[in-house]
């Protein structure tokens, strides 16, 4: 195996264990809200968490990973008060198991998926039905989240299938444990192209956006939030309220998200 191939494998497989470990705080601080949030939210939610500290009493403890990994951790008893998923499926997974408080579930944010390349790449294309993605990738790899579980990967696969190009690139895909790991494969040049959220591309100076996938080529990208059924912290509802406030909305928009909830 080449060093480059080993690097891809290490991030896509070995990093998964690290993501799970990072997802679980060492202990649940009873006086702090514990939030499990999709990896793509990191920059925006870090800013929102800081801004909401005065409303809540102090900043929440936030753990970022793939929505799939976080949902499984909550199912396994991990001490989280709030879950923010990058798709509706993993929120439904927990709510169907009665692991969320349904009356707190809100569709919070929206996003887009884009095709990215390393910043110095000369790749250009128009994303449309039948576009020659395989030729653009060449002998390289297409980085994306695990398309069987990670929301960004699922959205990406759906878009490529809708556009009729999935079968031509499936064998070139380098799957990563979350969308930020896929982004890193592109920014470091280990992958020729990648499919990530528009907000991730905006946050990474090492990549450039080649094109945006048509909105109708994949299911709507929605980030729902909810309080977990086992939430113990008294400030959780205050945190959820602040997430839907005008000041939080402004910060989410600043980072490229679409705000789906009316401001409090």
Distance CA 2, CA 77 (A): 39
Q: Is the pLDDT of residue 163 over 50?
A: yes
**pLDDT (tens digit, 9 = 90+) per residue, 106-116?**
999 999 999 99
For domain 113-212, give the CATH superfamily.
Periplasmic binding protein-like II (3.40.190.10)
**pLDDT (tens digit, 9 = 90+) per residue, 131-140?**
999 999 999 9
| pLDDT reported for residue 68 | 96
How are beta strands 113-118 and 106-110 bridged, if at all?
Answer: unpaired
Distance CA 241, CA 248 (A): 10
| pLDDT reported for residue 21 | 41
φ, ψ dihedrals at 175, nearest 5°: -85, 140
| pLDDT reported for residue 11 | 45
Higher-confidence position of 264 and 159: 159
Average pLDDT over residues 75-94: 97
The pTM assigned to this predicted structure is 0.86
Please choose, from the candidates 224, 180, 251, the residue with its C-alpha nearest in 3D space to the C-alpha of residue 22.
180
Please choose, from the candidates 233, 227, 228, the residue with its C-alpha nearest in 3D space to the C-alpha of residue 28.
233
Annotated binding-site residues read: 40, 67, 152, 179, 197
Q: Is the pLDDT of residue 17 over 50?
A: no
Please choose, from the candidates 183, 184, 192, 186, the residue with its C-alpha nearest in 3D space to the C-alpha of residue 141.
192
Distance CA 163, CA 131 (A): 8
Q: Domain limits of the chain?
A: 34-110+222-259, 113-212
Average pLDDT over residues 66-78: 97
Distance CA 199, CA 255 (A): 6
Q: Is the pLDDT of residue 18 over 90?
A: no
| pLDDT reported for residue 264 | 58
- For the chain, what is the mean pLDDT? 90
Strand order in the sheet with 142-145: 173-176, 142-145, 193-197, 113-118, 207-212
**pLDDT (tens digit, 9 = 90+) per residue, 184-203?**
999 999 999 999 999 999 99
Annotated binding-site residues for molybdate read: 40, 67, 152, 179, 197
Q: Do domains 34-110+222-259 and 113-212 have the same CATH topology?
A: yes
Class of domain 34-110+222-259: alpha beta
Per DSSP, 205 falls in state: T
């Amino acid at each position: 195996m080449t060093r480059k191939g080993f690097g891809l494998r290490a991030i896509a497989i070995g990093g998964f264990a690290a993501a799970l470990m990072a997802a679980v705080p060492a202990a649940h601080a009873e006086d702090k809200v514990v939030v499990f949030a999709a990896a793509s939210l990191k920059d925006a939610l870090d800013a929102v968490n800081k801004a909401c500290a005065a409303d809540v009493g102090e900043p929440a403890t936030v753990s970022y990973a793939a929505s799939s990994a976080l949902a499984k951790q909550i199912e396994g008893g991990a001490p989280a008060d709030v879950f923010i998923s990058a798709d509706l499926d993993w929120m439904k997974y927990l709510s169907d198991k009665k692991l969320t408080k349904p009356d707190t579930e809100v569709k919070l944010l929206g996003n887009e998926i884009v095709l990215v390349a390393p910043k110095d790449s000369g790749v250009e294309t128009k994303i449309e039905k039948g576009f020659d993605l395989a030729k653009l990738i060449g002998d390289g790899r297409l980085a994306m989240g695990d398309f069987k579980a990670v929301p960004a990967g699922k959205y990406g696969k759906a878009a490529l299938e809708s556009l009729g190009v999935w079968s031509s690139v499936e064998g070139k895909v380098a799957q990563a444990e979350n969308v930020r790991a896929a982004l890193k494969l592109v920014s470091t040049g280990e992958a020729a192209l990648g499919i990530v959220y528009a907000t991730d591309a905006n946050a990474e100076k090492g990549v450039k956006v080649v094109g945006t996938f048509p909105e109708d080529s994949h299911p709507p990208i929605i980030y729902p939030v909810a309080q977990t059924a086992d939430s113990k912290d008294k400030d959780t509802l205050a945190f959820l309220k602040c997430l839907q406030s005008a000041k939080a909305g402004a910060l989410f928009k600043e980072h490229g998200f679409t705000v789906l909830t009316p401001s409090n």
